[in-house]
């Protein structure tokens, strides 16, 4: 048979199947029977097996992989997958509206969509073909789950149009399939999933895509990040583009300029959401205009042009058996209610944070109280109110301890703060959490160093802080419980490998208050070396886009503490990398182009705006070098207040003298 004719027949079958997939899985309007559809697929499979030279990765037959993957690789998102700020009340929505209008004017259109309760993913298409799919991860880096996403029939492997585009959506499990899945797992003696969101997340992250294919996952696309050959003016325009391309867009789109109308929608859907075939936990409100979005911008974590209204959480009654204190890695003492277990929003709750002593006092919470609890944002258990009419008189008032329950140091509350903090710098509770954080995947990623090993290392006094990890020896580890030769060697290898992590990992691992993964990346890219960060002032951090005043204050305060500098010195001596290599490569390129590159400077006198070390660092960043004495090889002398004899020597040799204002201008 003519090969070209066969090729056309195969392509024709693929196009027909894609068309019927779109009608069935996206529009929910099938026009042929299941048996007719199956017959088309069977014909295509037979032809592809007989003529393997016409294989195509975007064929409908390639949706289910043939074998499990060894593990998920990582994907750097082309566009950061930011979180949304949350609103829980009418007042918070009105505040959002005021902030938007204050920045862009009163003429604002909003688009309202469902907030699907699932797992956020990114899809990338090149010339109309699906090439990559990833989970949100930390917003910058996600897991490559392309093969699993291919099993979701509502995701086209080939678009209707040959666009190159990046889109965002929410993978979810319909309620009826969730019920069926849990019934099947009960029959098989397997643990059931708490809710459809957990079931969807667990299903998408299966190492075997054949398992994912049995879970009947679905998706709605809600954001178009990039598309070729288009100038985007509005969000509604992006939804039309995605729809035309064959993507399954958000099922509810409502546009209005009235925040009062949006508030009514939120109240309406809080009651109607249970009638949907899938879970939603709120509504998302987005500014429609792309130009206005550009004006509003984003913080390091959230866009300022969108907000998520979260529906009121499910509430249940329970009983406070006791209140205990947990000491966090920043030394904060947090009271936690130990509850009589109760199922809330699909999972069993036995603990709830009471936040601080003001929270306890304002709500008049006592040990022995009957209380109403809910999950804040459907995630974090919290006490809503006390059922005072059920008190017996035997309830006990709770008093915050004056001493840290872990180390015995004084616990104090500073003026202007609600938190009570342990003053013990070497508090084991803080060190334990700091070390676990330091070794975590987002930080130094020391594989095999879990909480149980950290507990043993601390209990055996083998470490006191995170830096001590780099001084551990095999003979020390081999004596720990359940630590064999292989485990000890693997842990030492993992610790050694972590020395080469990028600076941003180390910054995040240090546990600086309010410095998350994104902020750590921005700081590392800006300064390139930890020593420059230590020397920097608050104003230097404020110069970084997305870094605010509180974060800048927190960073400078951290590096003023002697105990923190001692920790860094131990890390330095152990050979831990203190550089952001990508930033340094960029800086080296900039040095080559800067007019100071290769020039020699001498500093004399007092500079008003810079310390001597800061001025030296600024010169070296631009390719210059600083020496202590003036000679014929000196190119510039920077003269501050009371310059001294070096200025006289410079004038004698005819060397260019720069005053403070000139130095600043040249920078």
Average pLDDT in the 228-235 region?
A: 90
C-alpha Rg value of the chain to the nearest Å = 30
Give the pLDDT confidence score for residue 67 in this predicted structure.
43
- Distance in angstroms (rounded) separating the CA atoms of residues 38 and 137: 37
- Distance in angstroms (rounded) separating the CA atoms of residues 83 and 150: 25
Of residues 522 and 191, more confidently modeled:
522
Clarify whether 570 is annotated catalytic. Answer: no
Of residues 190 and 220, more confidently modeled:
220
Please check the confidence at residue 640 and state whether its pLDDT lies above 70. yes
Domains and CATH numbers, the chain: 3-62 (1.10.287.610), 86-310 (3.30.470.30), 315-391 (2.40.50.140), 428-498 (1.10.150.20), 503-583 (1.10.150.20), 594-666 (3.40.50.10190)
Of residues 262 and 231, more confidently modeled:
262
- Choose the weakest-confidence range: 7-21, 120-134, 221-235: 7-21
Average pLDDT in the 65-91 region?
A: 76
Residue 2, burial from CB neighbour count under 10 angstroms (0-12, 13-18, 19+): exposed
Q: How many CB atoms lie within 10 A of CB 46?
A: 10
Residues 258-275 as b/e (b if ≥16 CB within 10 A, e otherwise) read ebeebbebbeebbeebee
Question: Model confidence at 415, in pLDDT bands (50, 70, 90)?
Answer: low
What are the pLDDT digits (tens) for 32-72? 765 677 677 778 877 877 777 777 777 777 655 444 445 67
Give the pLDDT confidence score for residue 185 in this predicted structure.
74
Arithmetic mean of pLDDT over the chain: 86
Please check the confidence at residue 375 and state whether its pLDDT lies above 80. no
Give the pLDDT confidence score for residue 261 in this predicted structure.
96
Average pLDDT in the 273-283 region?
A: 88
Give the pLDDT confidence score for residue 568 in this predicted structure.
92
> pLDDT over 70 for what percent of the chain?
91
Range picked from 182-186, 549-553, 630-634 for highest mean pLDDT: 630-634
Give the pLDDT confidence score for residue 126 in this predicted structure.
94
Find, among 162, 152, 175, 186, the residue nearest to 65 by Cα. 152
What are the pLDDT digits (tens) for 319-367? 999 999 988 766 888 899 999 999 876 678 899 888 888 989 999 999 9
Give the pLDDT confidence score for residue 609 in this predicted structure.
73
Give the pLDDT confidence score for residue 57 in this predicted structure.
73
- Distance in angstroms (rounded) separating the CA atoms of residues 60 and 50: 16
Of residues 162 and 211, more confidently modeled:
162
Give the pLDDT confidence score for residue 424 in this predicted structure.
62
Average pLDDT in the 111-131 region?
A: 93
- DSSP annotation of 30 reads -
What are the pLDDT digits (tens) for 284-320? 999 999 999 999 998 877 899 999 998 877 788 999 9
Residues paired with residue 319 on neighbouring β-strands, in sequence order: 370
Residue 383, burial from CB neighbour count under 10 angstroms (0-12, 13-18, 19+): buried
Active-site pick, 16, 115, 243, 321 = 115
Give the pLDDT confidence score for residue 379 in this predicted structure.
55
Question: Model confidence at 26, in pLDDT bands (50, 70, 90)?
Answer: low
Q: In this structure, what token pair is assigned to residue 88? A: 């829980």
Give the pLDDT confidence score for residue 68 in this predicted structure.
41
What are the pLDDT digits (tens) for 444-453? 999 989 888 9
Question: DSSP characters for 150-169?
Answer: TT-TTS-SB-SS---EEEEE
Residues paired with residue 397 on neighbouring β-strands, in sequence order: 366
What are the pLDDT digits (tens) for 555-612? 888 888 777 888 999 999 999 999 987 665 555 555 566 778 888 999 988 877 777 7
Give the pLDDT confidence score for residue 377 in this predicted structure.
46
What are the pLDDT digits (tens) for 602-617? 998 887 777 777 788 7
Question: DSSP characters for 221-262?
Answer: EEEEEEETT----BHHHHHHHHHHHT--B-S-EEEES-HHHH
Give the pLDDT confidence score for residue 587 in this predicted structure.
57
What are the pLDDT digits (tens) for 191-200? 677 778 888 8
Does the pTM of the predicted model rise above 0.75? no
Give the pLDDT confidence score for residue 69 in this predicted structure.
46
């Amino acid at each position: 048979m003519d090969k070209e004719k066969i090729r056309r027949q195969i392509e024709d079958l693929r196009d027909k199947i894609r068309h019927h997939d779109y009608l069935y899985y996206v529009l929910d309007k099938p026009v042929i029977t299941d048996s007719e559809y199956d017959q088309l697929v069977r014909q295509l499979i037979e032809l592809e097996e007989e003529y393997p030279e016409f294989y195509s990765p975007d064929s409908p037959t390639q949706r289910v992989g043939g074998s499990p993957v060894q593990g998920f690789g990582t994907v750097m998102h082309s566009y950061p997958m930011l979180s949304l700020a949350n609103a829980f009340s009418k007042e918070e929505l009105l505040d959002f509206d005021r902030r938007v209008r204050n920045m862009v004017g009163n003429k604002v259109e909003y688009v309202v969509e469902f907030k699907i309760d699932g797992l956020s993913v990114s899809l990338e298409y090149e010339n109309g073909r699906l090439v990559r799919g990833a989970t949100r991860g930390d917003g910058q880096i996600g897991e490559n789950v392309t093969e699993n996403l291919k099993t979701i029939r509502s995701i086209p492997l080939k678009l209707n149009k040959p666009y190159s585009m990046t889109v965002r959506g929410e993978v979810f499990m319909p309620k009826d399939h969730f019920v069926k899945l849990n019934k099947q797992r009960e029959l098989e003696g397997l643990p059931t999933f708490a809710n459809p969101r957990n079931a969807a997340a667990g299903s998408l992250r299966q190492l075997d895509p054949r398992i994912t294919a049995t879970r009947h996952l679905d998706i709605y696309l809600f954001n178009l990040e990039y598309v070729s050959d288009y100038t985007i003016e509005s969000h509604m325009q992006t939804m039309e583009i995605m729809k035309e391309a064959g993507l399954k867009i958000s099922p509810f789109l409502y546009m209005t300029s009235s925040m009062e109308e949006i508030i009514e929608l939120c109240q309406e859907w809080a009651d109607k959401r249970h009638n949907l075939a899938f879970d939603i936990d709120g509504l998302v409100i987005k500014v429609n205009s792309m130009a206005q979005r550009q004006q509003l911008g984003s913080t390091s974590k959230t866009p300022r042009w969108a907000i998520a209204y979260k529906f009121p959480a499910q509430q249940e009654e329970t009983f406070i058996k006791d209140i205990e204190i947990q000491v966090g890695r920043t030394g904060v003492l947090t009271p936690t209610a130990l509850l009589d277990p109760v199922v809330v929003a699909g999972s069993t709750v036995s603990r709830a944070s009471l936040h601080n002593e003001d929270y306890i006092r304002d709500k008049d919470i006592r040990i022995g109280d009957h209380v109403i609890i809910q999950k804040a944002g459907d995630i974090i258990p919290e006490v809503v109110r006390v059922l005072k009419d059920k008190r017996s008189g035997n309830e006990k008032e709770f008093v915050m301890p004056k001493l840290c329950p872990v180390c015995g140091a004084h616990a104090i509350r500073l003026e202007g703060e609600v938190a009570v903090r342990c003053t013990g710098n070497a508090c084991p509770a803080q060190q334990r959490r700091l070390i676990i954080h330091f070794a975590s995947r987002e930080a130094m990623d020391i594989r095999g160093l879990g909480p149980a090993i950290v507990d043993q290392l601390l209990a055996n006094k083998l470490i006191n802080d995170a830096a001590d990890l780099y001084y551990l020896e095999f003979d020390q580890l081999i004596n720990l419980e359940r630590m064999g030769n292989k485990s000890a060697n693997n842990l030492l290898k993992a610790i050694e490998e972590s020395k080469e992590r990028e600076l941003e990992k180390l910054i995040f691992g240090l546990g600086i208050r309010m410095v998350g993964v994104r902020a750590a990346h921005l700081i590392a890219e800006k300064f390139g070396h930890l020593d420059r960060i230590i020397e920097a002032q608050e104003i230097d951090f404020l110069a970084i886009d997305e870094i605010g005043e509180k974060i800048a204050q927190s960073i400078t305060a951290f590096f003023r503490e002697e105990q923190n500098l001692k920790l860094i010195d131990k890390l330095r001596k152990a050979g831990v990398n203190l550089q952001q290599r990508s930033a340094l490569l960029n800086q080296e390129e900039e040095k080559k182009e800067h007019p100071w590159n290769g020039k020699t400077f001498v500093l004399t006198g007092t500079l008003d705006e810079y310390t001597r070390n800061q001025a030296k660092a600024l010169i070296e960043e631009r390719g210059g070098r600083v020496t202590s004495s003036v000679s014929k090889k000196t190119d510039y002398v920077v003269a501050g207040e009371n310059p001294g004899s070096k200025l006289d020597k410079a004038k004698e040799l005819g060397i260019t003298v720069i005053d403070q204002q000139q130095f600043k201008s040249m920078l």
